[in-house]
Structure 1
Amino acid sequence: MAHILLIDDDAILRETFGGLMRRLGHVLTWAGSMAEGRLALARDRVDVVLLDLRLPDGYGLDLMDEIKAAPGVPEVIIITGREDPEGAALAIKSGAWDYIQKPLTPNRVTLPLTRALEYRAQKASRRPRAVLKREAIVGSGPAMEACLDQVAQAADSNASVLITGETGTGKELFAQAIHANSSRAHSNFVVVDCAALPETLVESVLFGHVKGAFTGADRDRDGLFKLADGGTLFLDEIGELSPGIQKTFLRVLQDGRFRPVGSKHELSSDFRLVAATNRDLSVMAGIGSFREDLLYRLRTIVLTLPPLRARQEDIKSLTIHHMNRLCERYRLPTKGFAEEFFQALCVYSWPGNVRELFGAMERVLLQYRNEPVLYPKHLPDEIRLQVLRANGVGEAAEPGYGDTVESGDAGIAPWKAFRRLAMEEVERGYLGDLLQISRGNVGRASKISGLSPSRLYDLFRKYGLVTRP
Structure 2
Amino acid sequence: MPAAARARLLVVDDDADMLRLLSMRLGAAGYQVTAVGSAEAALSQLDIERPQLVLSDVRLPGRDGLALFDEIRARHPSLPVILLTAHGTIPDAVEATARGVYGYLTKPYEARELLEKIAQALALSAPASPSHPADEQWRAEIVSRSNRMADLLAEARMVAQSDASVLLRGDSGTGKEVLARAIHRASPRARRPFIAVNCGAIPEALLESELFGHMKGAFTDAVANHKGLFQAADGGTLLLDEIGDMPPALQVKLLRVLQERAVRPLGSSQSVPVDVRIISATHRDLEAAMAMGQFREDLYYRLNVVTLTLPTLAERREDIALLANHFLAKLAAKYGKRSSGFAPEALKALTMSAWPGNVRQLYNVVEQVCALSTTPLVSLALVQRALRTPSVEVLSFADARQRFEREYLVGLLKMTDGNVADAARLAQRNRTEFYRLLQKHALTPGLFKSDAGAGAGAEPSDPVADV
| Post-superposition offset of 1:202 | 3.2
Letter in 1 for 2:154: D
Of 296, 300, 303, the residue aligned with 2:301 is 296
Which residue number corresponds to residue 258 of structure 2?
A: 253
Change (3 A) 1:249 1:336: same
Aligned-partner Cα distance in 1 for 2:338–2:158: 40
Q: CA deviation at 1:196?
A: 2.1
Per-residue CA shift, 1:364-389, capped at 9, x if unaligned? 11221x21212211213345449959
Conserved in 2, the CA contact under 8 Å of 1:344 and 1:387?
A: no
Partner of 2:181: 176
User: What is the match of residue 221 of structure 2?
Assistant: 216
Once the two structures are superposed, the pairs formed by residues 128-167 of structure 1 within 5 Å of their partners are 130-167=135-172
1:379 matched to 2:374? The reply is no
Give the corresponding residue for 1:344: 349
2:297 and 2:137 map into 1 onto residues whose CA distance is 33
Query: Which structure has the higher relative contact order (CA within 8 Å, separation 6+)?
Result: 2
CA distance in 2, matches of 1:241, 1:207: 14
Q: Secondary structure at the match of 2:240?
A: strand
Which residue in 1 is equivalent to 2:409? none
Q: CA RMSD in A?
A: 2.9
- Counterpart Cα distance in 2 of 1:302 and 1:188: 22
Structure 2 CA distance for aligned equivalents of residues 315 and 172 of structure 1:
19
Whole-angstrom CA distance in 1 between matches of 2:296 and 2:219: 30
Q: Secondary structure at the match of 1:275?
A: strand
In structure 2, give the amino acid aligned to 1:267: V
> Is 1:244 matched up with 2:249?
yes
Residues 295-374 of structure 1: pairs in structure 2 closer than 5 A: 295-368=300-373, 370-374=374-378
SS in 1 for 2:256: helix
Are the aligned partners of 1:230 and 1:270 in contact in 2 as well (CA < 8 Å)?
Answer: yes
Distance 1:241 1:270, change over 3 A: same
Q: Which amino acid aligns with 1:375?
A: S
Match of 1:226 in 2: 231
SS at match of 1:312: helix
1:276 counterpart = 2:281: yes
Q: C-alpha deviations, 1:137-191, integer Å up to 9, x for none?
A: 1111101101111220111110000011111001000000001111111111111
Larger radius of gyration: 2
8 Å contact kept, 2:168–2:282 = yes
Please tell me whether the aligned partners of residues 377 and 384 of structure 1 are also in contact (alpha carbons under 8 angstroms): no
Conservation of the 8 A alpha-carbon contact between 1:162 and 1:276 = yes
Q: Residues 280 and 156 from structure 1, CA distance in 2 versus in 1: closer, same or farther, beyond 3 angstroms?
A: same
Hey, what does 1:26 align to over in structure 2? none
Q: How does 1:401-416 map to 2 (within 5 A)?
A: none
Identity %: 42
Aligned length: 271
On the 8 A contact 1:210/1:262 being kept in 2, the answer is yes
Contact kept in structure 1, 2:265 and 2:271, CA below 8 Å: yes
Q: Which residue of 1 aligns with 2:76?
A: none
Deviation at 1:215, TM superposition (A): 2.8
* Structure 2 counterpart SS, 1:309: helix
2:430 matched to which residue of 1? none
Cα offset, 1:289, TM superposition? 1.2
Shift of 1:292: 0.9
Residues 204-232 of structure 1: CA deviation (Å, up to 9, x unaligned): 22221222333332322111111111110
Q: Aligned partners of 2:299, 2:391: CA distance in 1, in Å?
A: 41
Deviation at 1:336, TM superposition (A): 2.5
Distance 1:202 1:361, change over 3 A: closer
CA distance in 2: counterparts of 1:228 and 1:372, whole angstroms: 43
Shift of residue 132, structure 1, vs aligned partner = 4.5
TM-score normalized by the length of structure 1: 0.54
Amino acid paired to 1:262 = G
Please report how far the alpha carbon of residue 257 of structure 1 lies from its aligned counterpart in structure 2 after TM superposition.
1.7
- Distance in 1, matches of 2:348 and 2:207, equals 47
Aligned residue identity for 2:381: K
- TM-score when normalising by structure 2: 0.54
Contact 1:156 1:182 in 2 (8 A): yes
1:30-53 alpha-carbon deviations (Å, 9 max, x no partner): xxxxxxxxxxxx89xxxxxxxxxx
CA distance in 2, matches of 1:302, 1:215: 40
- Does the 8 A contact of 2:234 with 2:276 survive in 1? yes
CA distance in structure 1 between the partners assigned to 2:180 and 2:241 by the alignment: 9
The amino acid that maps onto 2:307 is V
Note closer, same or farther for the CA distance 1:192–1:386 as it changes in structure 2 (3 Å cut).
farther
Would the alpha carbon gap of residues 366 and 203 (structure 1) be closer, same or farther in structure 2, given more than 3 Å must change? Answer: closer
| 8 Å Cα contact 2:349/2:384 also seen in 1 | no
Structure 2: 5+ residue stretches without partners: 1-111, 114-133, 401-462
Letter in 1 for 2:270: H
- Alignment partners' CA distance in 2, 1:268 and 1:204: 17
